[in-house]
Structure 1
Amino acid sequence: MALQGPIAVTFEQVFPHGCYVVGEVEKVKDFDASTNNRFVQARDKSTGLPVWQVAVMDADPTLKPAQKTVAVKLLAEDQPIAPPMMAGLPFTPVEFDDITVTPYVNATGRLAYSVRARVMRAPGTGAGKAKPAVREQA
């Protein structure tokens, strides 16, 4: 089959109703390189960039509660930061650019998808126009 590896998709294909940040941006652990005493952050195999993760809630009203929270992995040299909170909303709306999905079979034998992105931004700032939001290094 000619289709191998990550599949490029648009934000609208993955989250047609939008999504909201519901967790902190965290480093993804490289389970092969880490030990009990030493944490090693995962790096993307094709780009070499560090891998971060953020939990988002899919706003699709037809999803079951267990399907609403999705982990999006972010590829960035520096820790991405979520857009600022919006007044009157309990969660921060967010959009992603340069998204890929990688299908895999999970532990229960069901088809699942790993979602990766290069840019996390506020909605309406324009696909591909926003620079990746990063936390300044001290």
Structure 2
Amino acid sequence: MAMQRRFPVGHADVFPAGAFLKGGVEPVADFNAERRADGSRPQQLDKDTGLPMWQVMVLDADEEAGKKDTAISIKIAAKVQPVPPENTTPFPWTPVEFVGLTALAYVDDNGNRPRLAWSFRAESLKAPGKPAASGSSAEKAA
């Protein structure tokens, strides 16, 4: 049996108590590419699809989440900048659900001792319990 490096996971499996968007959607800088004339870095492209990479900062509402797992970054490959759902709560953080979420395990050795950490990607994001917007990132890539 061949195990894929990145494997699909359900949103509720990763965020059983919910997830909240902190801030907006930002382009992922490509630190392996040369700087532009103005000193900025170009946007990273997805290795599989060639689509631009975007990232969001997410707060995990799970009370049992560890200190380093409370705020995580999730990347999204999309032709255009994904639009987060409208925040209809009185709080500064927007409830969010990820569609097509995948996980990749890696060893984080930035500390006193190495630990298992996770890198997450999603096809798109939406309001919890709502249908995904038509034309997901995967459809746009085709």
Q: What is the 5 A alignment of 1:79-118?
A: 79-108=81-110, 109-118=114-123
Moved more, 112-121 or 31-40: 31-40
Cα-Cα RMSD: 1.9
Q: What is the 5 A alignment of 1:1-138?
A: 2-35=2-35, 37-108=39-110, 109-126=114-131, 129-131=132-134, 132=136
2:23 is paired with a residue whose SS is coil
Q: Deviations over 1:48-91 (max 9, x none)?
A: 11110000100101224442101010111100121111132331
In the alignment, structure 2 segments of 5+ residues that lack a partner are 138-142
Structure 1 CA distance for aligned equivalents of residues 11 and 108 of structure 2: 23
Give the TM-score, by structure 1 length. Answer: 0.85
How many residues are aligned here? 131
Runs of 4+ in 1 over 3 A off after TM superposition: none
How much identity, in percent, do the aligned residues show? 40
In the alignment, structure 1 segments of 5+ residues that lack a partner are 134-138
Moved more, 105-114 or 5-14: 105-114
Residues 88 and 61 (structure 1), Cα distance of their counterparts in 2 relative to 1, 3 Å cut: same
